[in-house]
Amino acid sequence: MSTRKVYLDHNATTPLHPEVKKKMKEAMDVYGNPSSMHNFGRQARKYIEEAREEVASFINADRDEIVFVGSGSEANNTVLSLINCPWRACNMDSFDRPEIITSEIEHPCIRETAKCIDDSAAKVHYIPVKSNGKIDIEALKEKLSENTLIVSIMMANNEIGTIQDIKEISEIVHQYDTLFHTDAVQAVGKIPVDVKELNVDFLSMSAHKVYGPKGVGGLYIKDGTPFCPLIRGGHQEQGRRAGTENTIGIAGFGKAIEMRKKEMEEEEERLLVLKKKLKAGLKNRIDQLKFIGHEEDCLPGTLNVSFPGIEGESILLYLDMQGVAVSTGSACASGSLDPSHVILATGLAEEYTHGSIRISMGRRTTEEDIEYTLDAFEQTINKLKQMTTYTDGIRS
Amino acid sequence: MNENDWVYTEKVQDHFMNPRNILEDINEYDFDGKGMTGNLQCGDEMLFVIKVDQDKNVITDCKWKTFGCASAIASTSKLSEMAIGMSPEEAYDLGPNQIIKALDGLPDRKIHCSVLGDKALRAAIDDYWKRNGMEDKIPKDKKKVVCNCMNVTNHDIEEAVLHGARDFEELQEHTKLGTVCGECKPEATRMLEEYIEKHFSNDS
């Protein structure tokens, strides 16, 4: 067993920022219900509204446009569930506009919800992506019409890091008075996000991807946009999300965003240097590999690489034995029989589809970590190469 | 649950980390039989090569290569150990259950997709018999894997027909065959028709 531990799975989740931890500890003593009018309640309310201010200003939104929810997945579910809304309180009669559009590389929480909708309320169109992970804009234009109620395209992909041209997409979408949602769970806190510039109607966020706690998400709802809550039965969050607020978690989210304002820019530059080193090192040491995702428009800390004829779960487990934590899009590790839908959507050659590894770095990743990781990769791939059937002479 | 606990047993870990009998270079290995199963698209592919002492009728050595996950590697490695010293006939009867038992178990979801080594070994034994004029030893109605991805055999197809499958979709419902890469569809469709013909023609 190795002694060194290198965590390169920041797109899965991140450790709490020390300042976030401090803030959350402080909030633990604040037990009032934020909805209560008395002093105890007002104390808790203060934590939540401060956090709202932080989150809103970070993405250039107004305070009232931010709703705290239980996760990024909840934020995404809330938006797509508008189509299923049986109450019609939101005035969004899906039968006036019976179609929605999303992409082939969305997070499962969008895909699965879309699938539910496809079975019941509306027709769903899935837009393909190019090999670099960018949405096929022409295909989007083709499917878009007066029948489209909502378009949901993620801002940055969790597996390959590709960043979409959201501003361009939202402009196209709005030509039809169609609502536009972007899942920005992997983007907010990693790259600059300005909701006014992007002109989106809905935007989903998550705290734990940027050194905040698990179990807290945020949804931006542009002022004046039709909306219906997913969780009903309370006036919390201006009636847009029932349930007593998670004061501790929301306070942590606010602090995490406050720290992002201070650290994000510098970190972005640092991560880009590390990624360059990682890429060059892998290329030097391993003769057959492919990087997946867009060369420039990619999350600074994310690198997806695939090795032909070598299976991702095997790579992950060998690296784990050496203390290096990564993730894979291989079928075996996911528990399904198909490799990741994102990897398949990029149209990779079959010998590469089962061997993709996602390396996602973060604020504590160092140059030494990368050196160590390169050694671990070299050993791992060499060992697995001896075993694979993807070898000369086998098929003759 | 301990942080050092794997999803796999210690024996699986051991064979994954220290695989036995890997084939290094096929050009330098003088084998008597060679067999392969699976494909790259499915995510699992195995090759077995065997050496047989014909006089004693014993597998004296076997080597393998595997493209696949930890359980695929471990199960092939374990099988190679089990086969050495057996007669080809004995080795022919080794199946997933014995391999899984020898590894102290595998997660359920891994069994169908990753334990394919026995099919590759059987193909290698068939190949050995063919090369040495013993085709008659190859079982006539032997189990043949049709769908590599889901490990569905001709016997499974026959059983599905007996249970009411009459077209490809119904066959898929019964067996999950062809739900991954779909490569087996033509062969499976042909077999489906054959078994329907065999059991249900001239019924009226």
- Provide the pLDDT for residue A86: 57
**Considering the domain boundaries, does residue A183 fall inside one?**
yes
* A354/B150 touch (CB, cutoff 8 Å), yes or no: no
Is B113 a residue whose pLDDT tops 70? no
- Contact of B175 with B147, CB cutoff 8 Å: yes
Residues of A in contact with B110 (CB under 8 A): 332
Percentage of chain A modeled with pLDDT above 90? 85
> Which residue on chain A is closest to B17 by alpha carbon?
A318
Please indicate, yes or no, whether residues A81 and A145 belong to a single structural domain of this protein: yes
Nearest C-alpha of chain B: how many angstroms from A330? 8
The structure tokens 């299976």 sit at: A311
Among A159-163, A369-373, B183-187, the minimum mean pLDDT is found in B183-187
Mode of pairing for the β-strands spanning B58-67 and A302-306: unpaired
The alpha carbons of chain B give a radius of gyration, in whole angstroms, of 18
Mode of pairing for the β-strands spanning A302-306 and A290-292: antiparallel
Q: Give, as one character, the DSSP assignment of residue A231.
A: S
Question: What digits encode the pLDDT tens for the residues A16-33?
Answer: 999 999 999 999 999 999
- Contact of B61 with B77, CB cutoff 8 Å: no
The number of beta carbons lying within 10 Å of the beta carbon of residue B157 is 26
Nearest C-alpha of chain B: how many angstroms from A321? 9
> Within 13 Å of residue B201, how many CA atoms lie on the same side as its CB?
7
Q: What size, in residues, is chain B?
A: 204
- Provide the pLDDT for residue A396: 63
- Residues A171-188 have a mean pLDDT of 97
The number of beta carbons lying within 10 Å of the beta carbon of residue A31 is 12
Task: Please give the Cα distance from A223 to A190 (Å, whole number).
Answer: 25
Please indicate, yes or no, whether residues A240 and A313 belong to a single structural domain of this protein: no
* A389/B47 touch (CB, cutoff 8 Å), yes or no: yes
**Considering the domain boundaries, does residue A29 fall inside one?**
yes
**Global pTM?**
0.89
Please indicate, yes or no, whether residues A317 and A250 belong to a single structural domain of this protein: no
> Which residue on chain B is closest to A310 by alpha carbon?
B67
CATH number for the domain running over B146-200: 1.10.10.1100
Is B177 a residue whose pLDDT tops 80? yes
- Provide the pLDDT for residue B125: 97
CATH number for the domain running over B10-138: 3.90.1010.10
Residues of A in contact with B80 (CB under 8 A): none
Residues of A in contact with B45 (CB under 8 A): 389-390
Longest dimension (CA), chain A: 81
CATH number of the domain residue A329 falls in: 3.90.1150.10
**Considering the domain boundaries, does residue A396 fall inside one?**
no
**Considering the domain boundaries, does residue A147 fall inside one?**
yes
Mean pLDDT of chain A: 93
- Provide the pLDDT for residue B204: 43
Break chain B into its structural domains and give their ranges: 10-138, 146-200
Dihedral sign of CA atoms B77, B82, B87, B92 in order: negative
**ipTM score:** 0.86
Is A224 a residue whose pLDDT tops 80? yes
Q: Does residue A39 belong to the interface with chain B, where contact is any CB pair within 8 Å?
A: no
- Residues A283-312 have a mean pLDDT of 97
Task: Please give the Cα distance from A153 to A183 (Å, whole number).
Answer: 7
- Provide the pLDDT for residue B156: 86
First to last CA, chain B: 60
Question: What digits encode the pLDDT tens for the residues A82-106?
Answer: 876 655 556 555 557 889 999 999 9
Please indicate, yes or no, whether residues A293 and A309 belong to a single structural domain of this protein: yes
**Among B110, B119, B165, B126, CA closest to B146:** B119
Q: Any idea of the CA torsion for A329, A330, A336, A338, to the nearest 10 degrees?
A: 100
**Among B182, B192, B189, CA closest to B160:** B192
**Considering the domain boundaries, does residue A90 fall inside one?**
yes
Residues of B in contact with A391 (CB under 8 A): 26, 65
pLDDT bin (cut points 50, 70, 90) of residue A336 is low
- Residues B21-34 have a mean pLDDT of 95
Please indicate, yes or no, whether residues A60 and A198 belong to a single structural domain of this protein: yes
> Which residue on chain A is closest to B112 by alpha carbon?
A337
The structure tokens 């401060």 sit at: A50
Task: Please give the Cα distance from A283 to A278 (Å, whole number).
Answer: 9
Question: What digits encode the pLDDT tens for the residues A263-274?
Answer: 999 999 999 999
**Considering the domain boundaries, does residue A395 fall inside one?**
no
Is A361 a residue whose pLDDT tops 80? yes
Task: Please give the Cα distance from A275 to B196 (Å, whole number).
Answer: 59
Picking from A241, A258, A275, the residue at the C-terminal end of a domain is A258
* B110/A332 touch (CB, cutoff 8 Å), yes or no: yes
Tokens, residue A93: 């009669």
Task: Please give the Cα distance from A323 to A331 (Å, whole number).
Answer: 22
**Considering the domain boundaries, does residue A94 fall inside one?**
yes
pLDDT bin (cut points 50, 70, 90) of residue A247 is very high
- Residues A323-327 have a mean pLDDT of 97
Q: In this complex, how many residue pairs, one in chain A and one in chain B, have their CB atoms less than 8 Å apart? A: 85
Please indicate, yes or no, whether residues A34 and A140 belong to a single structural domain of this protein: yes
Tokens, residue B188: 């499976």
Chain B interface disruption, residue of A387, A388, A390, most B CBs within 10 A:
A387
Task: Please give the Cα distance from A175 to A163 (Å, whole number).
Answer: 22
> Which residue on chain B is closest to A336 by alpha carbon?
B109
- Contact of A240 with A202, CB cutoff 8 Å: no
The structure tokens 């469709």 sit at: B189
- Provide the pLDDT for residue B18: 95
- Provide the pLDDT for residue B43: 83
Please indicate, yes or no, whether residues A171 and A290 belong to a single structural domain of this protein: no
Picking from A258, A287, A320, the residue at the C-terminal end of a domain is A258
Picking from A202, A233, A258, the residue at the C-terminal end of a domain is A258
Helical (H) or strand (E) element with A7: strand A6-7
Mode of pairing for the β-strands spanning B145-147 and B152-153: antiparallel
Nearest C-alpha of chain B: how many angstroms from A381? 12
**Among A69, A147, A57, A148, CA closest to A102:** A148
* A332/B179 touch (CB, cutoff 8 Å), yes or no: no
Positions of B marked active-site: 42, 113
Please indicate, yes or no, whether residues A28 and A79 belong to a single structural domain of this protein: yes
Nearest C-alpha of chain A: how many angstroms from B55? 28
Tokens, residue A40: 């105890």
Task: Please give the Cα distance from B132 to B127 (Å, whole number).
Answer: 9
Tokens, residue A299: 């999350």
**Among B103, B134, B113, CA closest to B32:** B134
Which structural domain, as residue segments, surrounds residue A34?
A: 18-258
Measured CA distances, B198 to A344, B153, B158, B165, B195 (Å)? 40, 17, 10, 14, 5
* A388/B66 touch (CB, cutoff 8 Å), yes or no: yes
> Which residue on chain A is closest to B114 by alpha carbon?
A332
CATH number of the domain residue A243 falls in: 3.40.640.10
The phi, psi pair for A149, rounded to 5°, reads: -85, -50
Please indicate, yes or no, whether residues A143 and A251 belong to a single structural domain of this protein: yes
**Considering the domain boundaries, does residue A394 fall inside one?**
no
Is A42 a residue whose pLDDT tops 50? yes
Tokens, residue B162: 């007996």
Positions of A marked active-site: 332
Closest by Cβ to A391, choosing from B65, B68, B150: B65
Percentage of chain A modeled with pLDDT above 70? 95
Chain B: residues touching A (Cβ < 8 Å) = 4, 6, 16-17, 19, 22, 24-27, 36, 40-47, 65-73, 109-110, 113-114, 149-150, 179-180
Nearest C-alpha of chain B: how many angstroms from A329? 12
Task: Please give the Cα distance from A149 to A351 (Å, whole number).
Answer: 39
Q: Does residue A3 belong to the interface with chain B, where contact is any CB pair within 8 Å?
A: no
Task: Please give the Cα distance from A317 to B44 (Å, whole number).
Answer: 17
Helical (H) or strand (E) element with B61: strand B58-67
* A337/B16 touch (CB, cutoff 8 Å), yes or no: no
pLDDT bin (cut points 50, 70, 90) of residue B182 is confident
Task: Please give the Cα distance from A37 to B179 (Å, whole number).
Answer: 58
Residues 6+ away with beta carbon under 8 Å from A165: A134, A135, A137, A297
**Among A357, A348, A301, CA closest to A329:** A357
Q: Any idea of the CA torsion for B27, B28, B33, B39, to the nearest 10 degrees?
A: -50
Helical (H) or strand (E) element with A126: strand A123-127
Residue A321 buriedness (CB in 10 A; 0-12 / 13-18 / 19+): middle
- Provide the pLDDT for residue A92: 59
- Packing angle, helices B70-83 and A312-321, rounded to 10: 90
Please indicate, yes or no, whether residues A177 and A63 belong to a single structural domain of this protein: yes
Chain A interface disruption, residue of B23, B69, B106, most A CBs within 10 A:
B69
DSSP string, A146-186: TTEEEEE--SB-TTT-BBP-HHHHHHHHHTTT-EEEEE-TT
* B26/A393 touch (CB, cutoff 8 Å), yes or no: yes
